[in-house]
Structure 1
C-alpha cells in the first residue's frame, strides 16, 4: 500500500515539482440496502481501510493532467473546457468527470495535475470508482476553496459517474466514501441525504465481518444495472408514487397485486423489502443485538439472488459455504453480477469459515477468492 508520502514522491518524479497536497478517499462495503439508493430509500454502508490516494496541484492554463500508478497507461492530458461526457476515456473518465461536474455546477476549475494510486480492488463491488471520484472532488474543493460540504461533494461525484461516465448509479457509494467515520456504519436516507453515524464495533462483541472478493469482475455499464433501474421506475409509476421508497413494507402485498409485469414485481418486492431490512439492522445495532444481523443478511442475499437476480454461482457459493461452516449470516454486496460478498462470523470462527469458503471454491474449480476483514474506517480526508 503506497503511503501519502510515497504518492507525493511519485508525483514529484512524474511532474518535476512537489504537489500542493495529498488526499485519500476509501472504498466501501454495504452492510445492507442494495438498489435502494436510486429508489430514494435507505442504505447502511461502511468505509473500508482501502483507499484511493491522490497527489494534486492546481493549474491556471486550462490543462488537466492525469496519471495512475496502478495502470500501465500513459499520462492523460486534457483541456478542461473540452471535456465531453460519454467519450469513453477509460479510468481517466472518473477524475475528469469530476472536473466536468464541478465546472458544470459553476465552480471554476482552471486545470490540475493529478497522480493517483489505489488499494481499492477494482471490479469487486467495493466502489473503486467512487473512491477515485471523491478523492478528486475533495482535493479540488480544497485547492480551489469552493467550500463545498461532504454531501455536496458526493452528489457532484455521483453526477460525474451518471452523466460523464454513463453509469446510472445512486448516491450511496460516493456518500459513503465522502462521509463515513471511523468505527461507524452510515445510515443514509437517499431522499433527503440525511446522515446518521451508527456505532459499528464488531470486535467489542467478539465478531468479525469478512469481505470475500470472488474475483469475478462486474461492470455496471453493461446495461443490466440500468435495466433494473428502469424496471423500478416503471413499478413506481404503475403504483402511483414518485419512488419505491413511498411503498411501506406492510403495503407490499397489496402493491404487488397491482403489478402485472413479473419482472417489475420482483424488482419492487426486493427494493421495498430491502429498505425494511435496513431498518431491521439499525434497530438490532441500536439494541446491541448484533448477532441477530446474520439471518437478515442471508435473507437479503436470497432477495438479491431470486428477485433482483444479480447474483452469480461464485457469490451463491460464498454464502452457502460460509453459512454451512457456521457463519452467522452472509450476502452478496454491491451492484452484483460478480464482485464481493460479506460474511458475519464469530471472531473465533474466522479461520474455519475462511477455510470452508476456500475449499468450496477449489472443489468447484473457481479462482480462489480474496478474503479480508472489513473494519469500519474513516471517510475522505487530507493526508498532507
Structure 2
C-alpha cells in the first residue's frame, strides 16, 4: 500500500512501445518549439481508467473493480525562476494559458468560469496543500513551470480524463518542487478530493485506478478505512485471450455542467436515502460522507451488526458480503412503502426525517447545487446494494476454480450491472442501450455503461477471436448509422481495445 510511484527510463511499460515512442518524441519536440529550444526536465503521466463493475457506489464506500488503460495524459515539464505557470496542450482546441502561483496562499479556482486548466489547478492545489501542511513548504517556495500536455483519453467519454489531468498535474507539481518519494497512497489520498474544488463530489475510484494501475492487472478499490487499490490478475482464458473493448458513444458526458441533475444529485439522493433508512430502522450513522451525513455503507454495517447480530465485516470476506447484501436488499423492500417508490419531494423527505424544509435544505442541499422534482430514494437504495453485490459476485467468480463457463458467467454479471445502472441510478442513455444490444448479438459476453455514465462509454467483455466481428458490427450498426460521414480517425479513437495498463508514473528518458 505504501509503494512509491514508479519512475521509468524507457517506454516498455506500454503495450505499444513503437507508437508511444513516436508520440513522446513529438511531445518533446513540441516542448522545445514552445519554449525556445529547451528540453523538458522530466515527464509525468497518468492514465484514464475503465471500470469493469461497481459504478456510483464509491462515494458511499463500497468497493469497485476498475483498471488503468493505455490511453493517458503525458506532461513534459521544466521549472522556471519565477512564479508563472505556462500551460500548453498539443491539441490546439484546448487554449493555452498562463497563471501565477500565489506567494502567500493556495491557488484559487473560479469554478463558475470553466476552462480545461481548472483540472490542472486542482492537481496543483492539492499537491501544494500537501507540501505546505505535511512537509513544511512555504507558498513562496513553489517553482514556476513550463508544461506541455498531450492526451489520448477521450474527454467526456466516461474514461476519467479529468482524473488523469488532476493526478498528472499533482504528480508533476510534487516532482518539480523536489518531492521525489511520492507514495501511491499519498498521491491517491490528495487527488481524491481534487475535483471537489470544482464542485464535483467524486468518490475517489477514478484517481485510485489512475494511480494504482499495473500492467495486465485489475484492482479492487477499497474506500475504508482509507482508499487504496488491491491488485489482482484475471485468469488465463484459453484458447483465446480475454480482451476488453471500450466503445465511446460519442455522446459527451460533461460531469461539471450536468452535475446538478446527474452526478451531484445522485450523491445527495444517496445521503438522504441512507439516513432515511437508518431513521426507520432506529439506527445512528456516523457522519462520514463528503456531505457530512451518514452513508449506505454505514447503514449496512450497523444494521447487520446491531439488528442481525452478525460479526463486523472487514470489506474483504466475499461470502459474508454476499450474505449481507442479500439481507439488506430485503430490508430495503420492507422499509419503503409501495407509494414511496415513485420518489419523495423535498417536503416529504424532510417530514420523514423529522426536519423542517429549511433544516433539510441546509443539511443536504447547501454544499452542491442540485435540481429535481422528486428524489428517487427507493431505486437509488436498490442500486447501491445490488451493484455492490455484483462486485462481490465477480470476486467470487475470480476466486473460484477456473471453469469453461467463466466468460459466460462473468458476462451475465456485467449485464446484470448494466440493468441496475440503467434502472437504479439511471445513468444509461438510449445510445448506450443501443450499443449494448448490438454488442451482445455480435461477440460480447457482457456489456455495460462504465464510469459516471449519462453518455460516455461502454465496456465489453470479449475474446481475441470475436473482436473483429464486434468492432465491425458496432462500426456499421451504430457509428455509421448514427454519425453519417464519421471519419476513420474518429472511429479509431472511439473503439479502444485494451488490457490493464500501468498507473501514474514519472518518465526520465
TM class by smaller structure: over 0.9
Q: 1:105 to 1:205 in 2, by over 3 A?
A: farther
Which of 16, 20, 42 is the matching residue for 2:63? 42
Partners of 2:216 and 2:238 in 1: how far apart?
Answer: 11
Partners of 1:203 and 1:84 in 2: how far apart?
Answer: 50
Moved over 4 A (4+): 201-205, 366-369
Aligned to 1:358: 475
Deviation at residue 328 of structure 1 after TM alignment: 1.2
Deviation at residue 103 of structure 1 after TM alignment: 2.3
Q: 1:364 to 1:245 in 2, by over 3 A?
A: farther
After superposition, the C-alpha distances for 1:55-110 in whole angstroms (9 at most, x for unaligned) are: 11233422222111113344311112273232534111111111122223343433
Structure 1 residue runs of 5 or longer lacking an equivalent are none
Q: Is the 8 A contact 2:79 2:145 kept in 1?
A: yes
Q: Is the 8 A contact 1:67 1:115 kept in 2?
A: yes
Q: 1:337 to 1:74 in 2, by over 3 A?
A: closer
The alignment partner of 1:156 has SS state of helix
Root-mean-square deviation (CA, aligned residues, Å) is 2.1
Q: 1:89 to 1:15 in 2, by over 3 A?
A: farther
Which of 55, 60, 64 is the matching residue for 2:85? 64
Deviation at residue 201 of structure 1 after TM alignment: 5.8
Structure 2 residue runs of 5 or longer lacking an equivalent are 1-19, 279-284, 286-293, 301-323, 344-375
Partners of 2:30 and 2:144 in 1: how far apart?
Answer: 20
Q: Which moved more, 1:121-130 or 1:110-119?
A: 110-119
Aligned to 1:320: 437
Q: 1:236 to 1:59 in 2, by over 3 A?
A: farther
Larger relative strand fraction: 1
Q: How many pairs does the alignment contain?
A: 383
Q: Is the 8 A contact 2:443 2:467 kept in 1?
A: no
Q: Which moved more, 1:328-337 or 1:364-373?
A: 364-373
Deviation at residue 362 of structure 1 after TM alignment: 5.7
The TM-score with structure 2 as length reference comes to 0.71
Which of 196, 207, 213 is the matching residue for 1:162? 196
After superposition, the C-alpha distances for 1:217-239 in whole angstroms (9 at most, x for unaligned) are: 11111121100110001111112
Aligned to 1:113: 146
Q: Which moved more, 1:199-208 or 1:373-382?
A: 199-208
Q: Which moved more, 1:123-132 or 1:237-246?
A: 237-246
> Is residue 2:171 matched to residue 1:138?
yes
Aligned to 1:284: 397
Partners of 1:205 and 1:90 in 2: how far apart?
Answer: 48
Which of 4, 28, 34 is the matching residue for 1:14? 34
Aligned to 1:183: 216
Q: Is the 8 A contact 2:63 2:391 kept in 1?
A: yes
Aligned to 2:187: 153
Deviation at residue 329 of structure 1 after TM alignment: 1.1
